[in-house]
């Protein structure tokens, strides 16, 4: 690439939208552009960098190695650009923001959100409440927290999807699976979406099971799993280096994915909550 070339952030934003939405048409809808405009943007970007960013594989267009490399840089550049603008716009944003997060994503999904808020609104004080999704949602309704990350659905709240994660049968790396015996389950007590997914899937597959361990939180679930007491249904976020995944090759049914959402009360009167919510939402290109 010539040293005098400068990457256009608008072209990079379109490029990321195409990758994230797997379609020129859907990227255009997300960016309020026509499909032909998105195509032109990609053509201009390829001319600018001097290499092909996409290649055809069957009916699909996949990123080339150069495209993958540019994608990493593009995300970083747009993040820095947005953070710089937001930090100037939100420099006067101050107060306390209370965020609720489930244990299983407190060290995966939550940190980038906190980091973005801290960079964009450095005067904002963050208070984090880590707990179980159903109880955090109750806290949100009661006003004990301002926003919550949760796999729960609630049509009375306002929110958007942060990430969709697969749900796996997770066990200790040393656990020995015996398909001829009832599956020993490590479960969290009600209410639990993972418990429901697991029991419904096992019932459909006519697989016998027994409750090997019952916990009230993820800490207990992790301890029992690492101790090799059985198998637990959890999202991929829980998987550690001392654990492994059982699947269809082991005779276990596939489990539904879960989607983590960020929720706020739609009628919140606190402008601080609304601005922080919009900051997070815009950082994800929504």
CATH code at position 25: 1.10.10.10
For position 283, what pLDDT does the model report?
77
| 149 and 173 housed in the same domain | no
176-203-252 Cα angle (round to 5): 30
| 20 and 81 housed in the same domain | yes
In the structure, what pLDDT confidence band is assigned to residue 246 with cuts at 50, 70 and 90?
very high
User: What does the radius of gyration of the chain's CA atoms come to, in whole angstroms?
Assistant: 22
| 271 and 133 housed in the same domain | yes
117-122-123 Cα angle (round to 5): 115
The per-residue pLDDT of the chain, averaged, comes to: 87
Strands 209-215 and 183-188: parallel
The Cβ-side half-sphere exposure at 258, using a 13 Å CA radius, reads: 24
For position 149, what pLDDT does the model report?
95
Does any domain span residue 14? yes
In the structure, what pLDDT confidence band is assigned to residue 1 with cuts at 50, 70 and 90?
very low
**Domain containing 131: what range?**
95-165+259-283
| 161 and 199 housed in the same domain | no
Domain count, the chain: 3
Assess whether pLDDT exceeds 50 at residue 2. no
For position 85, what pLDDT does the model report?
61
| 77 and 111 housed in the same domain | no
| 239 and 201 housed in the same domain | yes
For position 116, what pLDDT does the model report?
84
Does any domain span residue 23? yes
Q: pLDDT tens digits for 7-26?
A: 888 899 999 988 888 888 88
Output the pTM of the full model.
Answer: 0.63
Does any domain span residue 202? yes
What percent of the chain shows pLDDT beyond 90? Answer: 45
Which of the listed residues 89, 117, 143 is the one where a domain comes to its end? 89
Assess whether pLDDT exceeds 90 at residue 106. no
CATH of the domain at 126: 3.40.190.10
Assess whether pLDDT exceeds 80 at residue 86. no
| 105 and 150 housed in the same domain | yes
Q: How far, in Å, CA of 100 to CA of 260, rounded?
A: 12
Which of the listed residues 33, 66, 89 is the one where a domain comes to its end? 89
| 175 and 138 housed in the same domain | no
Helix (H) / strand (E) containing 57: strand 54-57
| 251 and 267 housed in the same domain | no
């Amino acid at each position: 690439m010539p040293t005098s070339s400068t990457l256009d952030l608008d072209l990079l934003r379109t490029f990321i939208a195409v990758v994230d939405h797997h379609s020129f048409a859907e990227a255009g809808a997300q960016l309020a552009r026509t499909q032909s405009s998105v195509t032109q943007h990609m053509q201009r970007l390829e001319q600018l960098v001097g290499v092909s960013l996409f290649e055809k594989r069957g009916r699909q267009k996949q990123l080339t190695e150069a495209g993958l490399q540019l994608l990493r840089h593009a995300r970083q550049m747009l993040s820095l650009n947005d953070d710089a603008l937001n930090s100037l716009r939100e420099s006067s944003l101050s107060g306390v923001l209370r965020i609720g997060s489930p244990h299983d994503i407190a060290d995966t999904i939550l940190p980038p959100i906190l980091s973005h808020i801290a960079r964009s609104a450095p005067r904002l004080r963050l208070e984090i409440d880590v707990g179980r999704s159903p109880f955090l949602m109750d806290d949100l309704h009661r006003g004990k927290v301002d926003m919550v990350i949760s796999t729960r659905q609630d049509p009375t709240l306002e929110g958007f999807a942060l990430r969709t994660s697969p749900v796996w049968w997770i066990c200790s790396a040393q656990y020995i699976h015996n398909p001829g015996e009832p599956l020993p389950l490590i479960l969290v007590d009600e209410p639990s979406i993972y418990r429901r997914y697991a029991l419904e899937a096992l019932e459909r597959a006519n697989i016998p099971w027994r409750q090997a361990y019952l916990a009230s939180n993820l800490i207990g679930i992790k301890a029992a799993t690492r101790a090799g007491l059985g198998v637990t249904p959890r999202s991929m976020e829980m998987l550690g280096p001392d654990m492994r995944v059982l699947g269809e090759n082991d005779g276990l049914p596939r489990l539904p994915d879960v989607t983590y959402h960020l929720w706020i009360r739609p009628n919140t009167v606190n402008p601080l909550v609304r601005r922080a919510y919009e900051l997070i939402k815009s950082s994800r290109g929504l």
